[in-house]
Amino acid sequence: MRWNKITNKGGFHILNGLESKENLAVLDLSYNTLGERREVIKDTSFIHKLSSLIPKLKLLRHLDLSCNGFDSKECKSIGYALEKNHSLFGFHFSGNFYGSVDEKGFLVVEVLKDDEKKFNIKKL
């Protein structure tokens, strides 16, 4: 489902449909606008739904969320959800300003506060 201009709201509905698909192995949502929030209610946001779905997808092997405009808070939520998934072999996150995957498979999230900090989310 890459390159489809899917918004946060559309992504939420897609994930709702995938919730019962426990045998999902590949999910490519790259090059959409899933992180460009416009007054989204927490329980109906793409990130909230993704964070609850990732740990449940025990057969998910490949996840691509590249180039979606996620902010640092969204990147952290994704990283914490990934801690609970132990089936991924491939995770792609390039093109998001606040997060990237390092050579060891860690999601590195850049947090901009008073000073720049980086921290690692546990290895996938």
Sign of CA dihedral 66, 71, 74, 79: positive
Exposure of 55 in the CB half-sphere (CA atoms within 13 A): 11
**Structural domain of 51:** 8-120
Q: How much is the pTM?
A: 0.81
- What is the chain's pLDDT, residue by residue, as a tens digit (124 residues)? 898 999 999 999 999 999 888 889 999 999 999 987 665 566 678 999 999 998 888 899 999 999 999 988 888 889 888 888 888 888 999 888 888 887 777 788 876 554 444 445 544 4
For the chain, how many structural domains are there in total?
1
Residue 74 DSSP SS3: helix
CATH classification of the domain holding 92? 3.80.10.10
DSSP type of residue 106: P
Distance separating alpha carbons of residues 42 and 44, to the nearest angstrom? 5
What angle do helix axes 72-83 and 46-53 make, rounded to 10 degrees? 10
Is residue 3 included in any domain, yes or no?
no
